[in-house]
Amino acid sequence: MRSSVDRGSSSGYSGRYVALAGFFVTSLIVANIIAVRPLSLPGGLIAPAAVVIFPLSYLFGDVLTEVYGYAAARRVIWLGFACNLLAVLAFSAGGALPAAPFWNAQPAYNTILGATPRVLLASFCAYLVGEFLNSYVLAKLKIATRGRWLWTRTIGSTLIGEGADSLIFITLAFGVFRVQGILPLGVLITIILTQWGIKVAYEVVATPFTYAIVQYLKRRDGVDHFDIGTNFSPIALGGAERAASVRRAG
Where do the domains of the chain lie? Answer: 12-97+108-249
237 phi/psi in degrees, rounded to 5? -125, 165
To the question of domain 12-97+108-249 being in CATH 1.10.1760, the answer is yes
| Share of residues in the chain with pLDDT > 90 (%) | 59
pLDDT at residue 237, as a whole number: 65
CB neighbour list of residue 8: distance below 8 Å, 6 or more residues apart: 243
pLDDT at residue 9, as a whole number: 38
pLDDT at residue 143, as a whole number: 95
pLDDT digits (tens, 9 = 90+) for 81-136: 999 999 999 999 999 999 999 999 999 998 888 877 778 888 899 999 999 999 99
Count, residues in the chain: 250
Categorise residue 69: left if φ over 0, alpha if ψ from -120 to 50, beta otherwise: left
**What is the Cα–Cα distance from 250 to 166, expressed in whole angstroms?**
42
Mean pLDDT, the chain, rounded, equals: 85
Q: In a 10 Å sphere around its CB, with 0-12 CB exposed, 13-18 middle and 19+ buried, how is residue 237 labelled?
A: middle
